[in-house]
Amino acid sequence: MRVGQLVGDRYRLEELIGDEGRGEVWFAADEQLGRRVVLKRSGAIGERPRLLGVARAQAKATHPHVVTLYGVEFIESGPDAGCWLVMEHVTGGSLEKQPRMAPEKAARIGAQIASALAALHANGVVHCDVKPANVVITDDGTPKLTDFDSAQRTGSNETISPDRPLSYTPDYAAPEVVNGSPVPRSDVYSLAAMLYKVVTGVPHDEDDGEDDESTLREWKVSQGVLRRERDTGPLAGALEAMLRRRADRRPDATGARRLLQEAAGQRSWARRFGFPGAPRRHPRATAAAGTALVTAAAVAGAWFWWLSADGDDEPGGTPGGEKPRAGSVIGDQRTMDPCALTDPGEFDRFGTYVERDRDYGNFDRCDVLVYPQGEDGEHIDVQVEFDSGPAPESPAPVRTFGGIGIIEEPQQGDECARALVLPDEADRDVSIWIYVDGGAARDYGGVETLCDMADIAARTASETLGKARAEKRAVPRRDPPAPDVSLLWLDACRLLDARALEIVPGVDAGDPDVGFGNWDCDWYSTTRDIEVQLRYDRDQPLSGEDGRVTRLAGRDTVVSPGYDGEDTCTVRVEYREYPDENGQKAVELLYLTLDGDDESPDELCAMATRLAETAAGELPRI
């Protein structure tokens, strides 16, 4: 074929941009619709069944970060005979042709491709060949996944292309792909290998060599022992998790997207750990400031009927009525006291005033506030938070106290974190995080001070957990227990059903990420870069300084664009007022954030407000 020829009496060839061995690829003009396209000749006319499989796989992924397939042309005879894919015109070249890039930029691209992979996996397709050459860049810098020739159906050893064996690129393939058994998380591994390449310039640290050495490298791929040891900066933690040898220990595509967003700075530690985006409004600093929105509410009647679909959950039960596993050191998640794992006295040497705050954030956390220059000055926040899911995998814990492993998380700016590893099978679905927020520490020892404090908090928590394990009991319960009218007893995921979530394009209502105690719930779109986060929060009464004041479902509400970071809109709905342990006014809040870079701020806030109104309407009246 040559420039100027017509394919199918419709597409005029303009420029040959690739001839991969799998088929030539051209920029072309669609003379019927007057638009530019990309044409790929994928095989002879006799390969129609294979090409249809490839086309159907790509067509299933209608997503902003997947190259759009316009159609398929089957041409029986002539110089243009064969099977042609007609695709979106993308002119920026592939990542293969890009110079090495900063880790943060690579992480942003990776997060977008991870969202595309999540959409593929939700539709039962594994790409199997994620690599720099298969990610192309549009004129405005948008990355898009392409080339589905190697795609496979989920849960099957059958390729989308029925007469072709599984194909892959060894430098980027996961061990299970080389061994013939790809799974969706194989694409997560390949994505990480691709990002390592675009940051370091090489897909791995093995030496290039002759054929026998290439065979050795493929064996190393199959065993998951390729070396990748170069500095990848803030990407290091995400890549370590995504490149784990065992597929079941890697994050799925959605989890990989979140890790990469954090590495790119798009999801701060504050958002990961459930902090509101604005600074803490501590009672001592702001008790007299602003006009509160809350009015006193009288407690009215019991409403336990609401707690479960069957109406048989009671305060004191575990999420969804599930009983704690025998041998669990955590026990009932809803009655366990996070503050039992803290000891404010351990931090006296870091400040002139130290206090414990039980009434801030979600119910899964406890904070110790350390004031280096007195209670009216800046503070350092030491937080203990519980989460669902296991702690991050590490070759070995840094240290162990009472049988509890402690892992050092990668440092991020003026922040330091530790993760605790619970060794018992009964607590396999729980992780505990220690997080220390910089704030005032810059002038009082810097990050080293933060990490010293994180180590002290981790040791204190581990000793408490270890003692409970040794005595074969659970850690202490909340004292006093939460009142019957508290949001603590309500399952957050039941506030939004599939019908309510229909307003979010492509959201998978049936597969939320459920947090510890069922106090937070996240849903993800399989077609757009958008996430719905619903959780509970505790704070001081809101004021007009927090955003636009309104009322939803008869409750005082504040709508705040950009409150949880760029491309977000947060809606906070006040539920009930109560006195905290210092006698100050506090409120329980419904806290909904919509996060998406494909929508305008107005569109995000319109959707977030509608969802928050629906969720608020499901709350019982008190």
Third-level CATH fold of 95-267? Transferase(Phosphotransferase); domain 1 (1.10.510)
Most confident option among 59-73, 133-147, 244-258, 451-465 = 451-465
Higher pLDDT, 220 or 590: 590
Tens-digit pLDDT profile for residues 450-488: 889 999 999 999 999 999 999 999 999 999 999 999 999
What confidence score (pLDDT) does residue 397 get?
A: 57
pLDDT over 80 at 568, yes or no: yes
Query: In one letter, which amino acid is 285?
Result: A
pLDDT band at 75 (very low <50, low <70, confident <90, very high): confident
Most confident option among 82-86, 256-260, 518-522 = 518-522
Q: Among 386, 274, 295, which residue's Cα sits nearest to residue 336? A: 386
Q: What value does the mean pLDDT take over residues 29-54?
A: 82
Look up residue 40 and give its DSSP letter: E
Q: What value does the mean pLDDT take over residues 246-261?
A: 87
Tens-digit pLDDT profile for residues 594-616: 998 778 889 999 999 999 999 99
Query: Using CA atoms, how far apart are residues 192 and 196, in angstroms rounded to an integer?
Result: 6
Higher pLDDT, 294 or 110: 110
Count CB neighbours of 35 within 10 A.
12
539 is a catalytic site residue: no
Helix (H, G, I), strand (E, B) or coil at 43: strand
Q: What value does the mean pLDDT take over residues 131-135?
A: 94
Helix (H, G, I), strand (E, B) or coil at 542: coil
Q: Among 160, 148, 281, which residue's Cα sits nearest to residue 572? A: 281
Q: Among 556, 427, 535, 429, which residue's Cα sits nearest to residue 491? A: 535
pLDDT band at 494 (very low <50, low <70, confident <90, very high): very high
Count CB neighbours of 95 within 10 A.
22
Which residue(s) pair with 24 in the sheet?
A: 19
What confidence score (pLDDT) does residue 272 get?
A: 42
Count CB neighbours of 87 within 10 A.
22
- CATH ID of 6-88, from 2.40.50.140, 3.30.200.20, 3.40.50.720, 3.30.565.10: 3.30.200.20
Name the H helices within 413-479. 446-470
What confidence score (pLDDT) does residue 310 get?
A: 38
pLDDT band at 324 (very low <50, low <70, confident <90, very high): low
Which of these is catalytic: 129, 455, 508, 556? 129
Query: Using CA atoms, how far apart are residues 520 and 512, in angstroms rounded to an integer?
Result: 10
Tens-digit pLDDT profile for residues 227-240: 788 999 999 989 98
Average pLDDT score, the chain = 81
